[in-house]
């Protein structure tokens, strides 16, 4: 209980007294105009939550010329795994609220025109871009706009940008290193749908490059094949892969929707897991753990948090790195084993 009469509005002064700081410090924490120490910021935000303080959005925007809203541009395209991308979106929303920002979710696939429309609306202070392509048509405009932005993913040329992602090339290398270390000499990548590769989506191409590069370096054979959506398509593509390459004993999967069908289809094709075929995936750990799947987890929550943090730093005109890559790690479970098992 904060001791105020029912219906009486909590003010910045109340928050300041409760947190033991100056009212200006509360204002700086909420607006992001100045860098505030992590301890002070945590104490102020705790007082905001305890007292139930809700700043007046209209007055705040007029005073600061800020909307306290960021846009998350998440075009819903063919081949995207919506449950996975929504993990990123949830992390963005949750982290943004910690900075007293709301999130405008933009799902239309409008390319540069959509980005220009957002920038001209004065509705948002900054923008996060997802589903980034190697030659993304939105990037040249983002460099020209005064609107601060951060990319979740990174294009071929990241000069002058702020990008954050898992190091997917290294993730592909880790999968091959694990399988090759267990004695597998013929490895296959069952990847994203063809549409994802066709539009040049960065994470898919980087993983494939990592698989091929590691295989060349370690002297093992590697083949790569797209995998379409839906259980029937997965069964068809997996059967075709093994018919063309029956000596494959190590399988890397980078297609979240394919993980379940792959594990259920291999025994139907006469391949036991892991005795005949070891399976490793690049996917969220929440998907891999229940089935005992060896995987390189995709840390959607951490990437989303870091993207918002970088954007808040840009809003304060603080320097940020052009590319932030999270180091992947391999979690070994029951679906991978040596060739002698």
The per-residue pLDDT for range 12-61, each reduced to its tens digit, is 888 889 999 988 888 787 766 677 887 888 888 888 888 877 665 444 44
- The sign of the dihedral angle between the CA atoms of 239, 242, 248, 254 is negative
With a CB cutoff of 8 Å and minimum separation 6, the contacts of 79 are 192, 193, 194, 195, 196, 201, 229
What integer pLDDT is reported at residue 252 of this predicted model?
A: 98
Residue ranges, the chain, pLDDT below 70: 1-8, 31-33, 54-65, 339-341
What integer pLDDT is reported at residue 55 of this predicted model?
A: 60
Ramachandran quadrant class, 56 (left: phi over 0; alpha: psi -120 to 50; beta: rest):
beta
What integer pLDDT is reported at residue 144 of this predicted model?
A: 86
- The sign of the dihedral angle between the CA atoms of 304, 307, 313, 316 is negative
What integer pLDDT is reported at residue 56 of this predicted model?
A: 54
* Helix (H), strand (E) at residue 246: none
What integer pLDDT is reported at residue 36 of this predicted model?
A: 81
Beta strands 102-106 and 149-152 are unpaired
Q: How many CB atoms lie within 10 A of CB 59?
A: 9
DSSP string, 254-280: --GGGHHHHHHHHHHTT--TTTT-EEE
Kindly provide the residue ranges of all beta strands, DSSP E only, lying in the chain, ordered along the sequence: 69-73, 102-106, 126-129, 149-152, 163-166, 186-190, 221-225, 250-253, 278-283, 294-297, 323-326
**Model-level pTM?**
0.79
């Amino acid at each position: 209980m904060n001791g105020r009469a029912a219906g009486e509005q909590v003010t910045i002064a109340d928050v300041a007294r409760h947190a033991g700081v100056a009212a200006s410090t509360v204002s700086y924490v909420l607006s992001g105009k100045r860098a505030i120490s992590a301890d002070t910021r945590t104490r102020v935000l705790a007082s905001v939550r305890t007292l139930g303080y809700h700043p007046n959005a209209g007055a705040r925007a007029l005073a600061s010329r800020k909307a306290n809203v960021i846009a998350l541009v998440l075009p819903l395209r063919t081949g995207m795994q919506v449950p996975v991308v929504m993990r990123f979106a949830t992390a963005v929303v949750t982290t943004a609220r910690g900075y007293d920002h709301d999130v405008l979710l933009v799902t239309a696939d409008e390319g540069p025109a959509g980005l220009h429309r957002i920038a001209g609306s004065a509705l948002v202070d900054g923008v996060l871009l997802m589903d980034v392509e190697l030659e993304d048509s939105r990037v040249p405009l983002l460099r020209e706009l005064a609107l601060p932005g951060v990319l979740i993913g990174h294009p071929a040329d990241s000069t002058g940008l702020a990008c954050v992602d898992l190091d997917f090339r290294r993730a592909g290398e880790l999968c091959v290193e694990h399988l090759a270390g267990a004695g597998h000499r013929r490895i296959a990548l069952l990847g994203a749908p063809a549409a994802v590769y066709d539009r040049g989506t960065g994470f898919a191409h980087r993983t494939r490059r990592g698989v091929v590069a590691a295989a060349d370096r370690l002297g093992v054979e590697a083949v790569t094949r797209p995998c379409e959506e839906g259980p029937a398509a997965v069964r068809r593509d997996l059967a075709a892969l093994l018919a063309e390459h029956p000596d494959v004993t190590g399988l890397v999967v980078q297609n979240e929707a394919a993980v379940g069908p792959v594990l259920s289809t291999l025994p139907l094709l006469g391949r036991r897991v892991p005795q005949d075929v070891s399976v490793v995936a690049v996917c969220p750990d929440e998907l891999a753990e229940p089935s005992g799947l060896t995987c390189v987890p995709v840390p959607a929550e951490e990437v989303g948090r870091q993207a918002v943090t970088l954007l808040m730093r840009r809003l304060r005109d603080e320097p940020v790195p052009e590319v932030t890559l999270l180091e992947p790690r391999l979690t070994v479970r029951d679906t991978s084993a040596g060739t002698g098992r």
